[in-house]
């Protein structure tokens, strides 16, 4: 197994070098990069559609969509009015890597204030890969159940914020949003928490205000 | 990258050898092995609790629970009346491997007719690892959205059956179970389909009848 671990380390090192180049490239325009991660079907794309609609005309937003297959999500976000969208298909890989982001950015316009990356739907692997992002967000759906933060602690620990979505479905499932948040904060007390129902718009304004307020982190952090 | 691919191939070869040993071990008792996979929160454990309750006294069922962390699920299934349950914690790994199953089986009693493995909640990586299973089942929640089969085609292609769960929530989300099934069958027309609501018990009897009817596959397949 030691050889395998060595190779994994090399992949992560190569990833980190690409992530550093992304930071270098985006510092000129002061582009804030947000990496949104979740399991499949938490509602990332629906939240992004609503986000892009609300921020249009206020700040210049670009979006990178990550999926194993299909370009559905990029088309949805484009229709919502995003100024620049790229779909990455990983062709089987369970996460985005910095090299994929770097290639996608070759066609990016100048002057993006905010770049949102929607990662592949997977609560495990994406958290291990630095995408040159400033802020990592874990998104969850109330319907997943409040046991998930402690069952997927790595993702919750590495994130700066939690978006707990589909709170409108809480009355129909045996899940308490309050307990879900409590369990999340026990894994990572520093999480900034948003309760949303992306399909009804509840809580989306607060999330957008936070996004618009984010500052770029110093490259050394 | 060629070196990385070589190492991946070696990991899979090692996995396949352990899977073959599991088949060899379980053939004596004619134990049918079912590997259930899904994204986080599709309802695997709730379905398993209901399954164990219904099959108790009819067939001898063992369960292996896979999670990154916690032993919640094993305790839940044990309380439901499973005769033998083992919790595997992968400690970060995003899937179960045959070697983990082989070690868990060291404490297994003789005479198990059905062994159900609940994989780590992840719609991508678990499908690549043969666990010595006879039947692979993909489980999905209606709330995930009907675009998922085509966005995670590998998992749907490798599975023999689909359990589409939480159909009771369909009225509250913009998802049609019928369309979800249609999209799934377009990816894999051979899927045996079950519509369930594990929390209300709807459809669980049909699923249990199917489980009880399953035959062991010949080791060469």
Instruction: Give per-residue pLDDT as tens, A15-31.
Output: 999 999 999 999 999 99
pLDDT band at A39 (very low <50, low <70, confident <90, very high): very high
Give the number of beta-carbon pairs within 8 Å between A and B: 118
Q: Is residue A218 part of a domain?
A: no
A113-126 pLDDT, tens digit per residue, is 999 999 999 999 99
Query: Which chain B residues are within 8 Å of A3, Cβ to Cβ?
Result: 7
CA A7/CA A136 separation, integer angstroms: 25
A203 close contact with B: CB closer than 8 A: no
A18 close contact with B: CB closer than 8 A: no
**Quick one: pLDDT at residue B1?**
45
Is A174:A182 a contact under the CB 8 Å cutoff?
Answer: no
Residue range of the domain that includes B171: 2-213
CA B143/CA B139 separation, integer angstroms: 12
**Quick one: pLDDT at residue B11?**
81
Which value does ipTM take for this structure? 0.91
For B169, the closest chain A residue by CA position comes to: A172
- By CB atoms closer than 10 A (0-12, 13-18, 19+), residue B66 is buried
Backbone angles phi, psi at B201, to 5 degrees: 95, -5
Beta strand segments in chain B, E: 32-37, 61-67, 84-89, 114-118, 135-141, 161-165, 192-195
Residue B184 neighbours by CB distance under 10 Å: 22
Q: Is residue B70 part of a domain?
A: yes
Exposure class string for A84-115: b at 16+ Cβ within 10 A, else e:
bbbbbbbeebbbbbbbbbbebbeebeeebbbb
Q: What are the residue ranges in chain B where pLDDT is below 70? A: 1-5, 219-221
For A197, the closest chain B residue by CA position comes to: B173
Average pLDDT over residues A43-49: 98
**Quick one: pLDDT at residue A10?**
81
Residue A200 neighbours by CB distance under 10 Å: 12
B143 close contact with A: CB closer than 8 A: yes
CA A114/CA A54 separation, integer angstroms: 13
Backbone angles phi, psi at B52, to 5 degrees: -60, -40
pLDDT at residue A43 is higher than 60: yes
User: CA of A13 to nearest chain B CA: how many angstroms apart?
Assistant: 13
Structure tokens at B189: 């027309």
pLDDT band at A1 (very low <50, low <70, confident <90, very high): very low
**Quick one: pLDDT at residue B194?**
98
Residue A154 neighbours by CB distance under 10 Å: 18
CA A64/CA A9 separation, integer angstroms: 26
DSSP state of A108: P
Q: Is residue A7 part of a domain?
A: yes
**Quick one: pLDDT at residue A11?**
81
B152 close contact with A: CB closer than 8 A: yes
Record: contact A172-B172, CB cut-off 8 A: yes
- How far out from the chain centre does Cα B112 lie? 17
**Quick one: pLDDT at residue A2?**
58
Find all residues with CB under 8 Å of B81, minimum gap 6, and list them.
Answer: B52, B53, B56
Record: contact A153-B72, CB cut-off 8 A: no
**Quick one: pLDDT at residue B67?**
97
Specify the number of domains making up chain B. Answer: 1
Q: Is residue B219 part of a domain?
A: no
Average pLDDT over residues A188-210: 98
Count of residues for chain A? 221
Record: contact B141-A41, CB cut-off 8 A: yes
Structure tokens at B23: 């088949």
**Dihedral of the alpha carbons of B35, B39, B42, B47, in degrees to the nearest 10:** 10
B159-212 pLDDT, tens digit per residue, is 999 999 999 999 999 899 999 999 999 999 999 999 999 999 999 999 999 999
CATH (domain of A175): 3.40.50.300
Q: Smallest Cα–Cα separation from A43: which of B68, B148, B185, B197?
A: B148
Determine how β-strand A32-37 pairs with β-strand A114-118: parallel
Instruction: Give the closest of B3, B122, B145 to A41, CB-based.
Output: B145
Q: Is residue B20 part of a domain?
A: yes
Strand, coil or helix: B129 = coil
Q: Is residue B14 part of a domain?
A: yes
Strand, coil or helix: B67 = strand
**Quick one: pLDDT at residue A12?**
86
Q: Is residue A45 part of a domain?
A: yes
A136-154 pLDDT, tens digit per residue, is 999 999 999 999 999 999 9
Q: What is the pTM of this model?
A: 0.94
Q: Is residue A219 part of a domain?
A: no
Instruction: Give the closest of B120, B145, B150 to A70, CB-based.
Output: B150
């Amino acid at each position: 197994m030691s050889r395998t671990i060595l190779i994994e380390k090399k992949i992560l090192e190569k990833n980190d070098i690409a992530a550093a180049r992304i930071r270098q490239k985006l510092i000129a325009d002061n582009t804030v990069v947000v990496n949104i991660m979740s399991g499949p079907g938490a509602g990332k794309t629906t939240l992004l559609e609503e986000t892009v609609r609300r921020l249009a005309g206020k700040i210049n937003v670009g979006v990178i969509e990550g999926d194993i297959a299909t370009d559905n999500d990029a088309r949805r976000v484009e229709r919502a009015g995003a100024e620049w969208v790229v779909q990455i298909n990983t062709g089987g890989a369970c996460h985005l890597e910095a090299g994929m982001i770097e290639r996608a950015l070759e066609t990016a316009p100048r002057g993006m204030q905010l770049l949102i990356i929607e990662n592949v739907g997977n609560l495990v692997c994406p958290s291990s890969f630095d995408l040159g992002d400033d802020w990592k967000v874990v998104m969850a759906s109330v319907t997943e159940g409040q046991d998930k933060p402690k069952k997927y602690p790595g993702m919750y620990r590495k994130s700066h914020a939690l978006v707990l979505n589909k709170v409108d479905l809480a009355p129909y499932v045996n899940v308490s949003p309050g307990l879900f948040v409590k369990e999340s904060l026990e894994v990572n007390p520093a999480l900034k928490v948003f309760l949303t129902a992306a399909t009804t718009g509840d809580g989306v304004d607060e999330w957008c205000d936070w996004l618009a307020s984010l500052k770029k982190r110093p490259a050394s952090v």
